Amino acid sequence: MNEINTSDTTGTQVSMLAVYILSLATFIVFFQGFMVAPLLPLLSEQFGTSARHVSFIEPAYLLGYGLFTLVYAPLSDRFGRFRIVAFCLIIFSLLTLLTAFVRGVDQMIFLRLLTGIGAAGIAPTTISWISDGYPYEKRGHALGIFFGNMAGGTAFGSSAGALITSVIGWQWLFIGVAGVALLIFFLILMYQKNIFKEGGELAESNDNILLSFHGILSSRRARRTYFYVLLNGMFHGGIFAWLAYFFYKNYSLNEFQIGLALLGYGIPGLLLGPLLGRLADRYGRSRIIPLGLFLGSITVLLLSQNLSLTASCIIVALLSLGFDLSHPLFAAIITTFSSRKGAATGLFAFFLFSGYGLGSLGLSLIINVGLERAFQLYGAGVLIAAVFSVFVFRNER
């Protein structure tokens, strides 16, 4: 399958309000996805098990999410973007509600796996929807909004989740998130006709999806980009899953204090996402992607040095900025790989969330070497990848 021209301007540009509304669904999914990591010390005590055992809650959710993006995203090409987003939001709400009533860590791990599977269609379908409505040279702004909501969900999930839990308990936190997800569903339903234009969201092609995947991955450019999506996802997913324990272990913080310490994560993307997208559109992805990878690696290497609490909080915000300077740009690039946007974005979400899950799982498996040493290994790996990225993405606009 041939790559489509990056200067393609087909599709009717949709309003930024519609982008914000639809991105709210991704916000709440990421809020729920990352609000658990800061609670690991609390859940470990409540369920009477080790921190390592409880830590598998995160990779269960993320691996389930990553695997099933390959199912939902192509289906959105065939059955429409709205149907997939609506279905996933409803399933996500119900399973999140059920998680509030688990009585053991193994039950929570299982329900988190199912929740990840249920929510897996929202983010890749939204990326496909954005690529339907925006030409490549203007896509960075819309994707900046989308990834800003993703980063915001991560930030407020990790911080507000811990803060709320310290007041009302983790069970009510899950109940509240389920209710907010249903409200977002009804909001999207109200504006359905304005967001999802009739006739503009169904793909004309009925090609076998496996052939579509094969066609996309036959391109060296696609393989290299998806490799970096996977690697960057492993890096950020693994580090973030253990940040709460990092602050608990090194600074003896409680849930409320951990929430405050993690408040900076995702804030740069939430505030600067659209601006970063415009910078990529203007100056080229070849310059900004390596910067984001370098920034991420350096921040984690600094975290491993056990600096002051204030310094670590600032570094966490810069770590988040490293993600914002890389992943939205990868998302823009992958939308040029095929006219089957659902297939291309499905692969993107698969590699991203599989990376999140594998990174979290991998750090859990090597944690016996020490948290700081594990951070150093992850940071050094991405530093090497950052150097190579200068050459890998040198031709990207």
User: Hey, what amino acid is at 274?
Assistant: P
Task: Note down the domain range covering 245.
Answer: 16-392
Classified as helix, coil or strand, 36 is coil
CB burial readout 55-89, b (16+ within 10 A) else e:
bbbbbbbbbbbbbbbbebbbbbbebbbbbbbbbbb
Cβ proximity of 205 and 77 under 8 Å: yes
Share of the chain above pLDDT 70, in %: 87
Domain assignment of residue 4, yes or no: no
CA distance linking residue 51 with residue 272, whole number of Å? 34
Domain assignment of residue 8, yes or no: no
Q: With bands split at pLDDT 50, 70 and 90, how would you rate the model's confidence at 199?
A: very low
Domain assignment of residue 349, yes or no: yes
Q: Enter the pTM of the model.
A: 0.73
- Measured between alpha carbons, how far apart are the two ends of the chain, in Å? 21
Q: Is the pLDDT of residue 397 over 80?
A: no
Q: Tell me, what's the pLDDT at 95?
A: 96
Cβ proximity of 62 and 353 under 8 Å: yes
Domain assignment of residue 249, yes or no: yes
Domain assignment of residue 316, yes or no: yes
Q: Tell me, what's the pLDDT at 12?
A: 42
Q: Which of these, 241, 246, 249, lies nearest to 360 by C-alpha position? A: 241
Domain assignment of residue 5, yes or no: no
Q: Is the pLDDT of residue 163 over 50?
A: yes
DSSP track, 198-254:
TTSSS-S----HHHHHHHHHTSHHHHHHHHHHHHHHHHHHHHHHTHHHHHHHHH---
Top-confidence residue, 117 or 140: 117
- At how many degrees (to 10) do helices 285-303 and 327-334 cross? 140
Top-confidence residue, 81 or 107: 107
Q: Where are the alpha helices (DSSP H) in 100-219?
A: 105-119, 122-133, 139-168, 170-190, 192-195, 209-217
CA distance linking residue 220 with residue 216, whole number of Å? 9
Torsion of CA 214, 220, 226, 227, to 10 degrees: 120
CA distance linking residue 3 with residue 14, whole number of Å? 24
Domain count, the chain: 1
Q: With bands split at pLDDT 50, 70 and 90, how would you rate the model's confidence at 390?
A: very high
Give per-residue pLDDT as tens, 125-138. 888 888 777 776 66
| CB neighbour class for 7 (10 Å; exposed up to 12, middle 13-18, buried from 19) | exposed
Classified as helix, coil or strand, 338 is coil
Domain assignment of residue 9, yes or no: no
What's the CATH code of the domain at 28?
Answer: 1.20.1250.20
Give per-residue pLDDT as tens, 325-362. 887 788 778 878 877 666 787 788 788 878 887 888 88
Cβ proximity of 311 and 193 under 8 Å: no
Q: Is the pLDDT of residue 64 over 90?
A: no
Q: Tell me, what's the pLDDT at 379?
A: 94
